[in-house]
């Protein structure tokens, strides 16, 4: 993957508003944003109710994902373009999710909803009508999803990238300042993880920085490009943003997102935890 295939500009989206092959999908942390206005033709995905199993902590299964996309009128041959608020956190999460279930042609709108709004581009409250499809998903691609045991084994072996804010990394906060403090039992970070806040990869308007700037950012933070990488945050959405940067923009093949992230790791019994601004020892 590369910037040319994984990312589209607001101009590109504007030009493809009436393209029947393209399906725009809005995914927001604030699931009511779409209802206040969205890009013409865009459908909504609710990450809390539609992408999460409602009983256990996991994603919807393959059959549920197929039923979801079929009902939304998304076909296997559609170009899915995701966008959302919060600098595309949840849109990147959905991008990773679509990749997890094997959708071939998925892209992210650079800058997401914010860039679209700052450009004073049009939003509508008109709901699109799409015919139902028969969507077929693939089995989950576990090569892009990390689970807890692998994370513990990767300490001191693989690149671990903690993309939360410095205060969360150090253990001074358990969640971002504007969100409810959904909490792990312990604060801190996984020993040896580099702290590269997701925000460093984005410009103020939410667009991604250039490939050269991104490569330099992670290199300076100590990411060894010869090793496999696992990105994590609190619940796996900000780390999807970084996963997107490392794998889809910079073309690193072996990058996984740990969606259990700190809310799981910080509640595990017996695992090592580092406090403070230093990465800590393996």
By rule CB under 8 A, what string of x and - marks binding of each residue 193-232 to another protein?
----x-xx---xx---------------------------
The closest of 60, 72, 65 to 102, measured between CA atoms, is: 65
> What gap in Å lies between CA 226 and CA 169, rounded to an integer?
24
188 φ, ψ (degrees, to nearest 5)? 125, -155
Residues 6+ apart with CB under 8 A from 131: 73
What is the nearest approach in angstroms of another protein to the Cβ of residue 173? 8
Nearer residue to another protein within complex by CB, 51 or 175: 175
First to last CA, the chain: 32
Look at the block and give the residue holding tokens 């040896």.
192
> What gap in Å lies between CA 252 and CA 230, rounded to an integer?
11
By rule CB under 8 A, what string of x and - marks binding of each residue 6-35 to another protein?
------------------------------
By rule CB under 8 A, what string of x and - marks binding of each residue 85-104 to another protein?
xxx-----------------
| Kind of pairing between the strands at 7-8 and 106-109 | parallel
Using DSSP's 3-state secondary structure scheme, residue 263 falls into helix
What is the nearest approach in angstroms of another protein to the Cβ of residue 66? 33
Q: Which of the residues 115 through 134 are near another protein (CB under 8 A)?
A: 117-120
- The reply to whether 20 belongs to the active site is no
Nearer residue to another protein within complex by CB, 106 or 109: 109
What is the nearest approach in angstroms of another protein to the Cβ of residue 105? 30
Residue of 8, 106, 108, 233 marked catalytic: 233
> What gap in Å lies between CA 271 and CA 82, rounded to an integer?
36
Q: What is the CA radius of gyration of the chain?
A: 18
Q: How many residues bind another protein (CB under 8 A)?
A: 21
Nearer residue to another protein within complex by CB, 114 or 247: 114
176 touches another protein by CB under 8 A: yes
Applying CB under 8 A, the span of 103-111, 174-182, 213-221, 235-243 interacting with another protein comes to 174-182
Binding another protein (rule: CB under 8 A), the pick from 173, 217, 271, 275 is 173
The closest of 241, 226, 135 to 196, measured between CA atoms, is: 241
CA torsion sign, 228 to 233 to 236 to 238? negative
Listed in sequence order, the DSSP H helices in the chain are: 3-6, 10-15, 62-72, 89-100, 112-118, 148-153, 166-170, 211-220, 238-243, 261-265
Applying CB under 8 A, the span of 154-162, 164-172, 216-224, 269-277 interacting with another protein comes to 164-172
The closest of 131, 107, 111, 121 to 39, measured between CA atoms, is: 121
Applying CB under 8 A, the span of 80-88, 142-150, 154-162, 214-222 interacting with another protein comes to 80-88
Which residues carry out catalysis? 233
**Binding region for another protein (CB under 8 A):** 85-87, 114, 117-120, 165-167, 172-173, 176-178, 197, 199-200, 204-205
């Amino acid at each position: 993957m590369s910037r040319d295939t994984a990312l589209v500009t607001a101009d590109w989206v504007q030009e493809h508003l009436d393209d029947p092959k393209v399906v725009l999908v809005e995914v927001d942390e604030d699931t009511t944003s779409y209802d206040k206005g969205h890009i013409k033709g865009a459908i909504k995905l609710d990450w809390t109710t539609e992408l999460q199993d409602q009983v256990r902590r996991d994603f919807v299964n393959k059959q549920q994902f197929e039923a979801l996309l079929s009902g939304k009128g998304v076909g296997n041959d559609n170009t899915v373009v995701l966008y959302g608020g919060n600098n595309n956190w949840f849109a990147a999460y959905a991008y990773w999710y679509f990749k997890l279930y094997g959708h071939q042609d998925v892209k992210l709108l650079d800058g997401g909803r914010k860039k679209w709004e700052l450009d004073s581009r049009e939003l509508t409250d008109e709901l699109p009508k799409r015919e139902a499809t028969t969507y077929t998903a693939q089995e989950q691609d576990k090569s892009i999803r990390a689970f807890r045991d692998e994370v513990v084994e990767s300490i001191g072996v693989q690149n671990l990238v903690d993309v939360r804010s410095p205060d969360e990394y150090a253990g001074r906060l358990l969640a971002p300042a504007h969100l409810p403090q959904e909490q792990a039992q312990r604060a801190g970070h996984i020993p040896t993880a580099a702290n590269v806040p997701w925000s460093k990869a984005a410009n103020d308007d939410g667009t991604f920085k250039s490939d050269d700037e991104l490569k330099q950012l992670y290199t300076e933070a100590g990411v060894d490009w010869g090793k496999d990488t696992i990105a994590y945050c609190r619940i796996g959405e900000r780390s999807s943003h970084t996963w997107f940067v490392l794998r889809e923009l910079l073309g690193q093949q072996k990058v996984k997102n740990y969606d259990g992230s700190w809310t799981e790791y910080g509640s595990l019994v017996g695992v090592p935890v580092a406090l403070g601004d230093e990465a800590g020892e393996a």
